[in-house]
Amino acid sequence: MNRLAVVALSALLSTPSIALGQSCSGNPVTVQILGSGGPAINPTRASSSYLLWVGSQAKMLIDMGGGAFLRFGQSQAKQSDLSLMAVSHLHPDHISDLPAFLWLSNQNRKDALPIVGPTGTNDVPAFQTFLERLFDSKTGAFQVLGTTLGGPPVAGAGGGVRLEVSTVDTSKTEPSTVFDRDGLVVTAMGIPHGPIPALAFRVQTRGVSVVFSTDQNGTHPKFIEFAKGANVLVMHLAIGAGARNPIHAAPSVVGRIAQEAGVGRLVLSHIGAFDLDAAIAELKQNYTGPLTIGADLQCTPVQ
């Protein structure tokens, strides 16, 4: 090894271990952002993912975009504590870290993991089909994860925890209850996101409610009712001031929805590469309530 390499190696070895992220476990109910970015490559924001903490346990995981696997580790959440994983839609920036998350998960958790996702359309497979294409023990891309769908373990391979899969019809016009266990009541509703409908989730626990709107264009007439009075509403600020897009709501529309829903706090996430100050200024023309601009690993107590 030459001298330069020795210097480089010793510098690496003396680097203090990477700090664990902020734990959100100190409040009755907390929203933690694991990924506050969207699909674009970003030096500080992972793609979309959230945790809902109840006391000292992360009980619900919403989405698993690229980078969320690392953020989950930094959050110090435990796979064994999760009551539910909710998947909003099948764009890669919301689901691409799922195989990494499940691989060897059976070493951390014995109980099946309830997981809910959307039905399909011509443009996207149904959630069950998506999972089979990934994990089927004979035809899947990750045959070693066949145990997640009830397949036999592969000799010498690690496998993953069994999934308890359910789907929500995104074309239904009324919200559906998708989970009512462990002190969590979760309802879901389809929202328009271009050709790929997505699911928004509303969670009620310990007397408070949180709504996770994923990507949407803001045109669903009933979404405001769905989000009405939530203590915290997480919305996606995917496009900048003055931009218009059939898939994503403009900042002014995000502001109007939060205002009309009368939420206790608006948390902005899925933040793209645009002039954020200008986007917030446009949003604030329609929204006057408490506002949090999301960041990875940030904790927002729900009260």
User: Taking the complex as a whole, how short is the minimal distance between the CB of residue 117 and Zn ion, in angstroms?
Assistant: 13
Question: What residues contact residue 111 under an 8 Å CB cut-off, 6+ apart?
Answer: 80, 161
- The first and second tokens of residue 17, run together, are 């271990």
Compare residues 161 and 268 and give the one whose CB is closer to Zn ion: 268
Q: Which of 71, 91, 256, 265 binds Zn ion (CB under 5 A)?
A: 91
Distance CA 12, CA 249 (A): 44
By CB under 5 A, which span of 25-33, 35-43, 137-145, 162-170 interacts with Zn ion?
A: 35-43
Please report whether residue 59 would count as binding Zn ion according to CB under 5 A: no
Please report whether residue 93 would count as binding Zn ion according to CB under 5 A: yes
- The first and second tokens of residue 62, run together, are 């919403």
Residues that bind Zn ion (rule: CB under 5 A) add up to a total of 4
User: Which of 300, 296, 297 minimizes the C-alpha distance to 271?
Assistant: 296
By CB under 5 A, which span of 2-10, 70-78, 92-100, 180-188 interacts with Zn ion?
A: 92-100
* Pairing label, strands 84-86, 57-62: parallel
By CB under 5 A, which span of 120-128, 143-151, 175-183, 215-223 interacts with Zn ion?
A: 215-223
User: Which of 73, 71, 31 minimizes the C-alpha distance to 51?
Assistant: 31
Compare residues 92 and 207 and give the one whose CB is closer to Zn ion: 92
User: Taking the complex as a whole, how short is the minimal distance between the CB of residue 208 and Zn ion, in angstroms?
Assistant: 26
Q: Which of 81, 136, 215, 282 binds Zn ion (CB under 5 A)?
A: 215
Please report whether residue 45 would count as binding Zn ion according to CB under 5 A: no
By CB under 5 A, which span of 34-42, 54-62, 124-132, 204-212 interacts with Zn ion?
A: 34-42
User: Taking the complex as a whole, how short is the minimal distance between the CB of residue 257 and Zn ion, in angstroms?
Assistant: 17
Query: DSSP letters of 274-297?
Result: S-HHHHHHHHHTT--S-EEE--TT
In the chain, where does DSSP find H-type helix?
3-14, 68-75, 92-95, 98-102, 127-135, 223-227, 251-261, 276-284
Q: Which residues bind Zn ion (CB under 5 A)?
A: 38, 91, 93, 215
